[in-house]
């Protein structure tokens, strides 16, 4: 292996070169938002918009990989666009999220239900401690772009979050951003 570099456009999250990318559209995020009816209406009327894009740079044989996530601005009945959220398969492995553009919230949750909220602003570098589930949420009018770095072995475990949701939701209430208890999660 040899040292290399990429160039990242902070506004869009475009990373050049890269080794892979994927997009998630609203229709692929059914079950994530509180209001399933409005979600279906948004899919129909807005042509199934992209919610977020992930671009990665991974070299075979390396211990680390990194990439960008860009979450577009948007809401589903007041609930801001977000990522699915996950634990790492390897619970002993953490991650770094370095925000480059926009405004967001990094929602974290431990297996015993403790929650933590970190504001994401350009320049914020968040340490996601091992064994904390993490979801990022765009609360601004621009794309929320962050660079992430973790071990190639960390993996994703979406199961628990898909089944139970996270304990907090992030919504707009009376023109303000509010972090509320998720009514669907029994304390
Ligand atoms: C990797 C990581 C990020 C997320 C990405 C999309 O461990 O935390 O690359 O995978 O922001 O979020 P999810 O995977 O939760 O849909
Ligand atoms: Zn992660």
Tell me the Ramachandran region of residue 44: left when phi exceeds 0, alpha when psi lies from -120 to 50, beta otherwise: alpha
- Ligand lying closest to the C-alpha of residue 84: 1
Closest CA relative to residue 113, chosen from 160, 81, 154: 160
Q: In testing the pocket of ligand 1, which one of 26, 83, 92, 132 has its CB within 8 Å of the most ligand atoms?
A: 83
pLDDT at residue 185, as a whole number: 85
Cβ of 69 below 6 Å from ligand 1: yes
Q: How far is the CA of 1 from the centre of ligand 2 (A)?
A: 25
Contacts of 177 (CB under 8 A, 6+ apart): 80, 105, 139, 170, 171
The token pair that represents 179 in the structure block? 């972090």
Distance in Å, CA 110 to ligand 1 centroid: 17
Query: Angle CA(131)–CA(158)–CA(73) in degrees, nearest 5?
Result: 100
**pLDDT tens by residue, the chain, 187 residues:** 999 999 999 999 999 999 999 999 999 999 999 999 999 999 999 999 999 999 999 999 999 999 999 999 999 999 999 999 999 999 999 999 999 999 999 999 999 999 999 999 999 999 999 999 999 999 999 999 999 999 999 999 999 898 889 999 999 999 999 999 999 887 6
CA 37 to chain centre: 23
Nearest-angstrom CA–CA distance, 94 and 129? 5
pLDDT at 164: 86
Token output for 102: 């926009």
Residue 68 has a pLDDT of 99
Residue whose pair of structure tokens reads 């091992």 in the numeric block: 130
Quick one: fold of 7-181?
Jelly Rolls (2.60.120)
Candidates 80, 36, 76; CA nearest to 176 is: 80
Of the listed ligands, the closest to the CA of 130 is 2
CA–centroid distance, 87 to ligand 2, in Å, is 7
Integer-rounded Cα radius of gyration of the chain: 16
> How many angstroms separate the CA atoms of 119 and 137, rounded?
10
Q: Is 138's C-beta closer than 6 angstroms to any atom of ligand 1?
A: no
pTM of the model: 0.97
**CB distance 148 to ligand 1 below 6 Å:** yes
What is the Å distance from ligand 1's center to 85 Cα?
Answer: 7
């Amino acid at each position: 292996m040899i040292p290399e570099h990429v160039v990242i456009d902070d506004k869009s999250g475009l990373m050049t070169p890269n080794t892979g990318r994927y997009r998630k559209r609203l229709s692929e995020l059914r079950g994530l938002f509180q209001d399933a009816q409005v979600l279906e209406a948004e899919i129909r009327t807005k042509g199934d918009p992209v919610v977020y894009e992930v671009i990665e740079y991974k070299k075979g044989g390396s211990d680390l990989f990194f990439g960008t996530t860009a979450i577009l601005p948007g809401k589903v009945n007041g609930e801001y666009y977000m990522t699915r959220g996950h634990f790492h398969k390897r619970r002993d492995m953490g991650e770094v999220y370095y925000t480059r553009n926009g405004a967001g919230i990094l929602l974290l949750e431990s297996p015993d239900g403790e929650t933590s909220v970190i504001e994401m602003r350009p320049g914020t570098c968040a340490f996601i401690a091992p064994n904390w589930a993490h979801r990022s949420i765009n609360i601004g009018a621009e794309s929320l772009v962050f660079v992430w770095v973790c071990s190639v072995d960390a993996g994703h475990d979406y199961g628990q979050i898909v089944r139970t949701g996270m304990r907090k939701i992030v919504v707009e209430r009376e023109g303000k951003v509010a972090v509320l208890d998720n009514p669907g999660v029994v304390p």
